[in-house]
Amino acid sequence: MDKIVEVDIRKISGGRNSHETDDIAVERAMSIRIMHMDVQHSLGILMRTPGNDVELVYGFLYCEGVIGSSRDILEVNIEDDDCLVLVTDECGFDPAEHIRKTSVSSACGLCGRESISNLIHIHGPPIPNDKNIHSTAISSSVEILRSRQSIFSRTGGTHAAGIIDYDGNIIAISEDVGRHNALDKLMGTFVMEDRMPITEGYLVVSGRASFELAYKAIRCGIPIFIAVGAPSSMAIEMSIEHGMTLIGFVKNSTASVYSCPSRIIND
């Protein structure tokens, strides 16, 4: 399944026009339906970059609280951008909380939710206090992530999320046109391998630290969250409340720490 397409463009440079081709990141809709207690429900439509769709489904359902582990999913069938997930009767699916009323765009991870009560009260594992990162590793982690963004290198049109271990080695990385999709794909990898909570490394994302990304990180028990861009006020408040170290505005050797700075070792 193609993640990149080539399109014809008119290039304007220095007042001159030329006809060229450009690589573009693919964005396509995928509908998600869930079969729970012999009743089928629609969870809406995800606008995503095709590829790693099974991981996306696992991560999306885990971060939404529909499942608590890979054992809650019995089967995933994806055909022609339509996904049907068979879950156990005992999973945490609640139609009142989890059914969305609109499509989910690549820019919004919470669109279509009638209530955010279940999101604000996160049902996640305790975040460990014994994880630390050297200050020099903050900027280098962003460089490590950028060096592995293969789709972005060609298109400039995708977000990335990665887990880097405390020795500076990248464990996993995902890319997508949607920042929350990139994180869901990343989280789905760990859910499928029964490696939750994620304490073996810290999270690095290519964009800003929004509420939904902070929520997903806390839901997965991640102790340190590094973002290239700015955090939102709710992301900061949530990080303080749950004890997650939130770092933003990382550029060269500078960074801003918004919560739990005790995990950072100054070099």
Which residues are designated catalytic? 108
Tokens read off for 248: 């933003």
Instruction: Work out the end-to-end distance of the chain between its first and last CA atoms, rounded to an integer number of angstroms.
Output: 45
CA-to-CA distance for 255 and 232, rounded, in angstroms? Answer: 15
What values do phi and psi take at 126, rounded to 5?
-60, 140
* Bridge partners, 40 (sequence order): 35
Closest CA to 203 of 136, 134, 130, 138: 138
Residue 207 CB partners (closer than 8 Å, separation 6+): 159, 179, 227, 228, 229
* Bridge partners, 161 (sequence order): 174, 205
Phi-psi region at 52: left, alpha or beta (left = phi > 0; alpha = psi -120 to 50): left
CA-to-CA distance for 251 and 193, rounded, in angstroms? Answer: 33
